[in-house]
Structure 1
Amino acid sequence: MSSSDSVSAAVSMRFDAAPGALSGTVEVPGDKSISHRALMLSALAVGRSRVEGLLEGEDVLATAAAMRAMGARIEREADGIWHIDGVGVGGLLQPQTALDMGNSGTSTRLLMGLLASHDLTATFVGDASLSKRPMGRVIDPLSQMGAEFTASPGGRLPLTMRGTVPAVPITYRLPVASAQVKSAILLAGLNTPGITRVIEPIPTRDHSERMLTGFGAHINISNNADDERVIEVEGEVELRSMNIKVPGDPSSAAFLLVAALIVPNSIITVRNVTMNPTRAGLVTLLENMGGKIIRKNPRFLGGESGEIVYDLQVMHSVLTAIEPDPAAVPSMVDEFPVAFVAAALAQGRSVFRGLHELRVKESDRITVMADGLRSIGARVEEIEDGLVIDGTGGEALEGGATIATHLDHRIAMSFAVAGLASRKGVTIDDMRPVATSFPGFVDLLRALGAGV
């Protein structure tokens, strides 16, 4: 999606408080982070992998296209099952054209890591939103491993990289908590002789470590004397194919959970959501705000190294203000926009700090959310690293505004949820970005009884 496309063919929608409450049982699409990694590691494995529940949003389809361009055979059956025939670690082929990442920062950063230890050259391009996002935090460690980069000003796309064989194993301490940087280094380490090591002072989502273990990589996880998490991967190991069932995405479920909490008399169940401890931050935050959320039917997908999954029952609740610990940011970094909406309807003053990362997402999510919330009647103060929000105490927001998405899917969905708890409704100027992560979002809201 280009910026010109979004102007000429934008699809606006209005979201209103419906006469009734939200009710029903639904499932959200597969987890985006896990879907990306399932495709990449299956493409590096020997043999055929089977993936069920893959998120078929635009971001993940960009990863699939890139892996096909480098030699993997990837097919989707009519029943929604995906089959991937891998090329083996080190077996990726030179892409013949630029790799178009669309809006997907995850695809870009993880693939840069994957290619850093292959003897090939690749050019990455993306849409207007992705082309504004800096890649320097990945370029730095991968350059230490021997990869070479020619990037646009500010370390941005379009970007051309040349991998190297053999790459140099490194020990890298993350200066900023980032699962994408950690994963990029570990993926580069797969085809690098020796031990590649990442030290993370603050734990981040661990899907890469879990999935690498499932594919047969030699992963060692420990804590050092400073109680920092140390992840080691042994290079030049053959990966085995596997069958994967992708659980529901908690970042997508977040919008439905908050909607049910703030729309009076609502009660819904969202099935099959991963509650991986490194991803459950929003649910914990909402529970601490007084949200009535019941975790039901726990089970593991993929054995003990896989993902723990729950069905989440949630009902309308009187929410109270919150001041989350900045250390919890990595466990809910993508869910803060909708958490701001919950805070805007809560009792008291919520203070969110430590959110510098939100300024370099698809948009500056701190400023965009502050401006949008003010336009629909919320009391919000923007600070350098977050927001201060004085909630309504459960009273509906005024609404009545049109929100600019800035090509950001989570901005669009957050204000759609806000519109359901407003007096005059909220119009989203362009709902098309939602397709990057949550195809079917509007249909699910309608199925639950939302006014759309």
Structure 2
Amino acid sequence: MSAPALSTWISSPVPPLGGAAVVPGDAAIAARALVLAALAVGESRVTGAPAGLETLAQALRALGAHLERMGEGAWRIHGVGVGGLRQAPGLLDVGPDGVAFALLAGLLSTQEGETFLTTSHPAAAAFLKAALPPLSRMGAAFTPAGDGLGAAHPPLLVRGTARPVPVDHRPLAPVACEVKSALLLAALNTAGRTTVVEDSPTADHTERLLRQFGAAVTARHQPDGAWAVSVDGQRELRPARVAVPGDASLVGAALVAAALRSGPGVALSHVGVNEHRIALFAVLRDMGADLTAQDQPVGEGEPVADLRLQPQARPLRGVEVAAASLSAAELALVAVAASCAGGTTVLRELTPRLARTVPPLVAALGACGVTASAATDVLTITGGGGPPRGGATVGVDADLAPAFLALGTAAAHPVAVRADLDPAAARLLNALGAAITRG
């Protein structure tokens, strides 16, 4: 597996951000929509999709589905039915698209035949460690690179089973929603009920789309408070029309950048506001940001809203945050907002997953002149009531990078970010007045 392509992005100080911008579609939702459309019987349409899906589309074509681009962000898909995929003639390489890799790995596990699948995404090994054991229990067999399942990495030979069996799976530790998605897709071609139990619910994009395509999906609380999601398999999917919402992950950096200083405010329309993706919004409101969301009717699809960040009369303020519900990207964005706030911000209850991101986050904040410190499960940032000096080059992973682009727009000196960054994050900030260039 090749290393991610690192680039340097330079974010220079500008006047306060403001204005209206179109948010690119959510790639994770769009990928799921294309995959499910490829399994439906009939013609589906997907609109609002971001760029970068052609690699997944090529993989689905190699498996027998017909996908056609109809213009910017629009796709027409003729599916082959559940269980109707053919064996791909060669290697399916989805490049850096880790979501596509996860979805296809699950889907192919219960499709008879052998397929070679690979990705360059750095989290692929962690996905395989969590997903291959339950998929193997369903009857699939795998030959990954590496030394056994504990150190498996792509490329991966998937030997799909012709007689899959349903499973009940409860991971021993919290895992990404892509593991749940892989199992739910494998369940589609499996007779009986497959159930995935999570101690804390992860994003439910797959479940929502499965319902939209007519799958038999149920979700319920367990007596012990856990969350169980089940799919009754071997039912045909119906075609659907999916309007992909704007990516909430990209929106976070834009809102924080606009909130760092008093400015004209920003307006962002048709943004996905799935409850599992917007913990940042509540924190910004607690810090004093005037952020409103006007819900839009969407039927059975993803919840969508038009967001408005109003001009602020005073700087953000320090707060105490129960951080367990934040993603790594949101943790970094809260830290950057706190660096420009008045007073101290304390983020408590850091999960082990978040705690792993804290050392590089604290180091990058310190390089930009921010006072930050960490204990076992606590991160503390002391704000100066205004932007810090910046003027540093920080090397961070893709989750943390957008936060430092936001910081660079307000800091006294430019911030250079070296990361495997989605260019859409920079384009959205630039549309609101940022000056971010690729070095």
Equivalent residues of 1:137, 1:181 under 8 A apart: yes
Q: How does 1:225-244 map onto structure 2 within 5 Å?
A: 225-244=223-242
Partner of 2:105: 112
Of residues 179, 182, 192 in structure 2, which corresponds to 1:181? 179
Partner of 1:378: 370
The 10-residue stretch of structure 1 (318-327 or 160-169) with the greater mean CA deviation from structure 2:
318-327
Aligned CA distance change for structure 1 residues 377 and 209 (closer, same or farther; 3 Å) = same
2:432 is the alignment partner of 1:434: no
Partner of 1:279: 277
Partner of 1:425: 414
Equivalent residues of 2:118, 2:155 under 8 A apart: yes
Of residues 317, 326, 330 in structure 2, which corresponds to 1:320? 317
Q: How does 1:234-383 map onto structure 2 within 5 Å?
A: 234-296=232-294, 298-301=295-298, 303=299, 305-314=300-309, 315-316=311-312, 318-329=315-326, 332-346=327-341, 347-358=343-354, 365-383=357-375
The 10-residue stretch of structure 1 (247-256 or 343-352) with the greater mean CA deviation from structure 2:
343-352
2:37 is the alignment partner of 1:49: no
2:150 is the alignment partner of 1:156: no
User: 1:392 Cα shift?
Assistant: 1.7
Partner of 1:99: 92
Aligned CA distance change for structure 1 residues 216 and 384 (closer, same or farther; 3 Å) = same
User: 1:256 Cα shift?
Assistant: 0.3
User: 1:76 Cα shift?
Assistant: 0.8
SS in 2 for 1:380: strand
User: 1:134 Cα shift?
Assistant: 4.8
Aligned CA distance change for structure 1 residues 198 and 350 (closer, same or farther; 3 Å) = same
SS in 2 for 1:433: coil
Percent identity between matched residues is 35
Structure 2 gap ranges (5+): none
SS in 2 for 1:24: strand
The separation in 2 between residues aligned to 1:249 and 1:367, in whole angstroms, is 27
Q: Could you tell me which amino acid in structure 1 is paired with residue 37 of structure 2? A: S
Partner of 1:36: 31
User: 1:140 Cα shift?
Assistant: 1.7
Number of residue pairs matched by the alignment: 428
User: 1:181 Cα shift?
Assistant: 1.6
The separation in 1 between residues aligned to 2:223 and 2:126, in whole angstroms, is 35
The separation in 2 between residues aligned to 1:73 and 1:311, in whole angstroms, is 33
The separation in 1 between residues aligned to 2:222 and 2:367, in whole angstroms, is 48
Q: TM-score, normalised by structure 2?
A: 0.90
Aligned CA distance change for structure 1 residues 134 and 240 (closer, same or farther; 3 Å) = closer
Partner of 2:81: 88
The separation in 1 between residues aligned to 2:106 and 2:28, in whole angstroms, is 15
Partner of 2:11: 15
Q: TM-score, normalised by structure 1?
A: 0.88
Partner of 1:171: 168
User: 1:383 Cα shift?
Assistant: 4.6
Aligned CA distance change for structure 1 residues 132 and 401 (closer, same or farther; 3 Å) = farther
What is the root-mean-square deviation in Å for CA atoms of aligned residues?
2.3
